């Protein structure tokens, strides 16, 4: 088949909503875009364990500790499904981990903010998982098969995460004066960084147009961000708290909430490695990687032993 025919067959499949699978022919740029996005997504899940892991030893009760441990373990699982999906595009997990640890690979800006109080566990669950899930529900219909299938499983767990975050804040919002203040303070600090998770505005998004044509993304960054603002502005009423944006108000013409301008200088500064915790996150990842060397060596030695046993039996 000529290149033109291959491209046509590929685009026909996308148009007919047939998933692209690892062994199918695909344009090099489609492969690279998926690899970039899926590996960044995997890194986000893995680095995302750090700010929450910070509170496991200080959770206020055994029940809260068990829930938090389960949630952090879920994030690890999400990272692993996603690394496996990315590997189908012709890279190795080792290479992706090396790119993360060297600072070459990106991960979500949100995980470069510190978790200062217990209320942050609620705010991360409600706002960060809430933002993540809106994006990920869309990705359940993404055109690359392994990514879409990983997302279906991940979304089931994320919706539980969001509800547990909201419930954590609900308890604080009905508590003492100090607990209420802690709840409001966490919402104030996590609101704007959560809006940044959706990426630059559409006019600045370098990848969106092509990704939408290929149905990798089904909605633009601004569409998803608006959906998030509309959802949270309603949910926060149940908490009796406020969002740190005085310009939020219902717009009858648009049928959406208007909201204020994001600090894009702050967003790009965090993406470029200069956020409050970028350095700390990379140091933690590198330390864990070194300390886990013996585990990787032991697993490889065990796999080799098993392989030799099978070879001897076959002989």
How many other C-beta atoms lie within 10 A of the C-beta of residue 207? 15
Interface residue with ligand FAQ, options 30, 35, 68, 75 (CB under 6 A): 75
Distances (CA, A) of 289 to 83, 102, 286: 16, 12, 5
Interface residue with ligand FAQ, options 44, 101, 117, 173 (CB under 6 A): 44
Say whether residue 36 binds ligand FAQ (CB under 6 A). yes
CB-wise, 29 or 296, nearer to ligand FAQ? 29
Distances (CA, A) of 299 to 67, 159, 222, 309: 29, 33, 44, 15
Residue with tokens 């909503």: 17
Q: Judged by CB under 6 A, which stretch of 2-10, 195-203, 250-258, 304-312 contacts ligand FAQ?
A: 195-203
CB-wise, 121 or 311, nearer to ligand FAQ? 121
Sign of CA dihedral 247, 250, 251, 256: positive
Give SS3 for 249: strand
CB-wise, 180 or 218, nearer to ligand FAQ? 218
Say whether residue 271 binds ligand FAQ (CB under 6 A). yes
Closest CA to 88 of 17, 9, 147, 128: 147
Closest CA to 215 of 7, 4, 5, 33: 33
DSSP type of residue 273: I
CB-wise, 31 or 180, nearer to ligand FAQ? 31
Q: Produce one character per residue of 263-291: b if its CB has 16 or more CB atoms within 10 Å, e if not.
A: eeeebeebbeeebebbeebbebbeeeeee
Taking 3-state DSSP, the helix, strand and coil percentages for the chain, each rounded to the nearest 5, stand at: 70, 5, 25
Q: Judged by CB under 6 A, which stretch of 93-101, 192-200, 289-297, 305-313 contacts ligand FAQ?
A: 192-200
CB-wise, 197 or 305, nearer to ligand FAQ? 197
Please state the closest distance from residue 223 (CB atom) to ligand FAQ, in A: 11
Interface residue with ligand FAQ, options 41, 225, 281, 285 (CB under 6 A): 41
Say whether residue 106 binds ligand FAQ (CB under 6 A). yes
Of residues 211-230, those binding ligand FAQ (CB under 6 A): 211, 221
Q: Judged by CB under 6 A, which stretch of 38-46, 115-123, 257-265, 298-306 contacts ligand FAQ?
A: 38-46
Of residues 122-161, those binding ligand FAQ (CB under 6 A): 124, 128-129, 132, 135
Q: Judged by CB under 6 A, which stretch of 18-26, 45-53, 275-283, 289-297 contacts ligand FAQ?
A: 45-53
CB-wise, 225 or 257, nearer to ligand FAQ? 225
Interface residue with ligand FAQ, options 30, 34, 37, 257 (CB under 6 A): 37
> How many CA atoms lie within 13 Å of 75's alpha carbon, on the beta-carbon side?
25
Say whether residue 40 binds ligand FAQ (CB under 6 A). yes
Q: How many Å apart are CA 192 and CA 308, to the nearest integer?
A: 55
Element (H, E) at 230: helix 221-239
Say whether residue 199 binds ligand FAQ (CB under 6 A). yes
Please give the residue ranges that form the binding site for ligand FAQ (CB under 6 A): 36-37, 40-41, 44-45, 48, 52, 75, 106, 108-109, 124, 128-129, 132, 135, 196-200, 205-208, 211, 221, 271
């Amino acid at each position: 088949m000529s290149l033109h025919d291959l491209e046509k067959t590929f685009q026909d499949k996308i148009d007919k909503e047939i998933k692209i699978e690892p062994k199918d022919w695909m344009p090099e740029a489609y492969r690279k875009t998926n690899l970039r996005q899926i590996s960044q997504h995997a890194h986000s899940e893995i680095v995302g364990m750090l700010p929450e892991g910070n509170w496991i030893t200080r959770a206020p009760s055994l029940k809260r500790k068990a829930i938090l441990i389960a949630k952090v373990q879920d994030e690890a699982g999400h990272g692993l499904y996603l690394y496996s999906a990315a590997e189908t595009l012709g890279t190795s997990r080792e290479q992706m981990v090396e790119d993360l640890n060297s600072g070459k690979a990106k991960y979500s800006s949100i995980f470069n903010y510190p978790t200062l109080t217990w209320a942050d566990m609620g705010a991360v669950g409600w706002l960060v998982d809430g933002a993540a899930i809106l994006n990920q529900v869309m990705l359940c219909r993404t055109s690359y098969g392994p990514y879409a299938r990983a997302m279906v499983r991940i979304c089931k767990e994320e919706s539980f995460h969001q509800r547990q975050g909201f419930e954590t804040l609900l308890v604080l919002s009905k508590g003492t004066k100090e607990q209420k203040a802690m709840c409001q303070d966490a919402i104030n600090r996590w609101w704007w960084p959560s809006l940044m998770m959706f990426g630059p505005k559409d006019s600045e998004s370098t990848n969106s147009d092509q990704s939408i044509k290929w149905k990798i993304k089904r909605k633009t960054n601004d569409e998803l961000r608006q959906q998030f603002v509309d959802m949270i502005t309603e949910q926060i009423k149940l908490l009796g708290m406020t969002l740190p944006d005085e310009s939020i108000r219902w717009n009858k013409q648009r049928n959406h909430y208007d909201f204020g301008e994001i600090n894009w200088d702050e967003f790009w500064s965090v993406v470029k490695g200069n956020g409050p915790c970028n350095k700390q996150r990379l140091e933690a990842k590198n330390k864990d990687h070194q300390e886990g060397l013996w585990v990787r060596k032991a697993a490889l030695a065990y796999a080799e032993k098993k392989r030799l046993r099978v070879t001897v039996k076959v002989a």
